[in-house]
Amino acid sequence: MLTLEDIFKSFKLPLTEKRKKLIAEAYEFAESAHDGQKRKSGENYIQHSIATAITLAKIGMGSKTVAAGLLHDVPEDTAVTLSELEKNFGKEIANIIDGITKLGKIKLRASREEYFLENLRKMFLAMAADIRVVIIKLADRLHNMRTLRYLPPEKQQRIARETMEIYVPIANRLGIGEIKEQLEDLALQYLNPRDYENVKKLRTENYQKGEKYLKQAIKELKKELKKSGVPVIDIYGRAKHLYSLSLKLKRYDMDIARIYDLVAVRIIVPEVADCYEALGIVHKKYHPMVGRIKDYISLPKSNGYQSIHTTIFGPDGKILEVQIRTQKMHDEAEFGIAAHWIYSEREKMGWKKFIFKPHGDKVPKKELEWVRQLRDWQKEIGRDDEEFVEGLKIDFFKNHIFAFTPLGDIIDLPEEATPIDFAYAIHSEVGNNATGAKADGKIVTLDHQIKNGQVIEILTSKENKTPSRDWLGFVKTSKAKSRIKRELKKEEGY
Ligand code: MN
pLDDT score at 153:
94
Note every long-range contact of 155-159, with CB atoms under 8 Å and residues 24 or more positions apart, other chains counting.
156/190, 157/190, 157/191, 159/190
- Counting as low any pLDDT under 70, the low residues of the chain are 104-129, 173, 302-303, 337-400, 402, 408-410, 464, 493-494
pLDDT score at 300:
80
- Distance, CA 76 to ligand 1 centroid (Å)? 9
pLDDT score at 170:
78
pLDDT score at 361:
30
Residue 225's nearest CA partner among 301, 174, 182, 283 is: 283
Enumerate residues 6+ apart whose C-beta is below 8 A from 442. none
Q: Indicate the DSSP class of residue 240.
A: P
Q: Do the bridges between strand 294-295 and strand 263-269 make them parallel or antiparallel, or are there none, so unpaired?
A: unpaired
DSSP 183-224: HHHHHHHHH-HHHHHHHHHHHHHHHHHHHHHHHHHHHHHHHH
Class of 4-190 in CATH:
mainly alpha
pLDDT score at 354:
31
- Distance, CA 77 to ligand 1 centroid (Å)? 9
- Distance, CA 483 to ligand 1 centroid (Å)? 44
- Cα 437 to Cα 260, 443, 447: the distances in Å are 28, 6, 10
pLDDT score at 333:
83
Helix H or strand E encompassing 273: helix 272-285
- Distance, CA 162 to ligand 1 centroid (Å)? 15
The model's pLDDT over 45-100, given as tens digits with 9 standing for 90+, comes to: 999 999 999 999 998 888 899 999 999 999 988 999 999 999 999 998 998 898 88
The reply to whether 84 belongs to the active site is no
Class of 400-492 in CATH:
alpha beta
CA gap 475, 89 in Å, rounded: 53
pLDDT score at 189:
96
For domain 194-342, the CATH superfamily is Beta Polymerase, domain 2 (3.30.460.10)
Which of 25, 31, 43, 77 is the catalytic position? 77
Q: Indicate the DSSP class of residue 60.
A: T
Measured between its terminal Cα atoms, the distance across the chain in Å is 64
Question: Where exactly are the structural domains of the chain?
Answer: 4-190, 194-342, 400-492
Which of 28, 76, 197, 347 is the catalytic position? 76
pLDDT score at 410:
65
pLDDT score at 380:
38
- Distance, CA 409 to ligand 1 centroid (Å)? 25
Residue 279's nearest CA partner among 241, 244, 307, 319 is: 307
Q: What is the mean pLDDT of the chain?
A: 82
pLDDT score at 334:
81
The reply to whether 384 belongs to the active site is no
- Asked if residue 7 lies in contact with residue 54, where contact means CB atoms within 8 angstroms, the answer is yes
pTM here is: 0.67
- Distance, CA 330 to ligand 1 centroid (Å)? 29
CA gap 34, 102 in Å, rounded: 19
- Distance, CA 44 to ligand 1 centroid (Å)? 13
Enumerate residues 6+ apart whose C-beta is below 8 A from 78. 33, 34, 37
pLDDT score at 56:
93
Q: Do the bridges between strand 319-326 and strand 263-269 make them parallel or antiparallel, or are there none, so unpaired?
A: parallel
Residue 425's nearest CA partner among 247, 182, 259, 183 is: 247
Q: Cα–Cα–Cα angle for 132, 136, 139, nearest 5°?
A: 140
- Asked if residue 75 lies in contact with residue 67, where contact means CB atoms within 8 angstroms, the answer is no
- Distance, CA 151 to ligand 1 centroid (Å)? 14
- Distance, CA 72 to ligand 1 centroid (Å)? 6
